[in-house]
């Protein structure tokens, strides 16, 4: 996990974002949202230190699991009601602040992964952080 280098004076509040990155349109959308949030590196309540690798958590790679456990907050973004990211992280004992695109009004199979939807989802997530 990298050090926080944003302008929000949040050195003690490190957040990591994880996306389901599933095979559907909303899965792709979660990946783009998480990458953009990590790149922006600034959210209410602290900065996002980076985007974590959900596959590494699932593979039980100790360094990745420990990095997630050391974060002050984990943001999990799922695309559909299955909630793979949230369930996988919680199965490893990692508590999450979870967001599901379905609950935010995005429908699997009917949501193109475009800038409009990425920005709309980020705005909705940021309002709830």
Q: What is the CATH number of the domain that holds 79?
A: 3.40.50
Number of domains in the chain: 1
Locate 65 and state its tokens.
């699991």
Least-confidence region, from 15-24, 45-54, 78-87: 45-54
pLDDT at 26: 98
pLDDT at 48: 76
Asked if residue 1 belongs to a domain, the reply is no
Residue 105 reports pLDDT greater than 90: yes
Whether the Cβ atoms of residue 54 and residue 78 lie closer than 8 Å to each other: no
Whether the Cβ atoms of residue 30 and residue 88 lie closer than 8 Å to each other: no
Asked if residue 24 belongs to a domain, the reply is yes
Asked if residue 4 belongs to a domain, the reply is no
Residues 25-81: tens digit of each pLDDT: 999 999 999 999 998 765 554 567 799 999 999 999 999 999 999 999 999 999 999
Asked if residue 49 belongs to a domain, the reply is yes
Asked if residue 6 belongs to a domain, the reply is no
- Comparison of pLDDT for 11 and 113, the residue scoring more: 113
Least-confidence region, from 8-12, 24-28, 109-113: 8-12
Strand-pair category, 14-19 with 47-51: parallel
Residue 11 reports pLDDT greater than 60: no
Which residues, in sequence order, are CB contacts of 76 under 8 Å at separation 6+?
Answer: 17, 18, 19, 20, 85, 86, 89, 96, 97, 98, 99
State the Rg of the chain over Cα. Answer: 14
Asked if residue 3 belongs to a domain, the reply is no
pLDDT at 9: 41
Locate 30 and state its tokens.
């979660």
Range of the domain at 75: 14-128
Asked if residue 35 belongs to a domain, the reply is yes
């Amino acid at each position: 996990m990298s050090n926080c280098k944003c302008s929000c004076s949040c050195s003690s509040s490190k957040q990591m974002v994880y996306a389901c990155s599933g095979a559907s349109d909303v899965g792709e959308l979660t990946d783009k949202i998480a990458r953009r949030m990590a790149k922006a590196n600034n959210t209410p309540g602290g900065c996002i230190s980076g985007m974590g690798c959900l596959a590494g958590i699932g593979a039980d790679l100790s360094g990745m699991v420990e990095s997630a456990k050391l974060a002050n907050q984990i943001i999990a973004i799922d695309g559909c009601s299955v909630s793979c990211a949230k369930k996988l992280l919680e199965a490893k004992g990692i508590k999450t602040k979870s967001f599901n695109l379905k609950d935010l009004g995005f429908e699997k199979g009917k949501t193109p992964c475009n800038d409009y939807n990425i920005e709309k989802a980020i705005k909705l997530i940021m309002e709830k952080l």
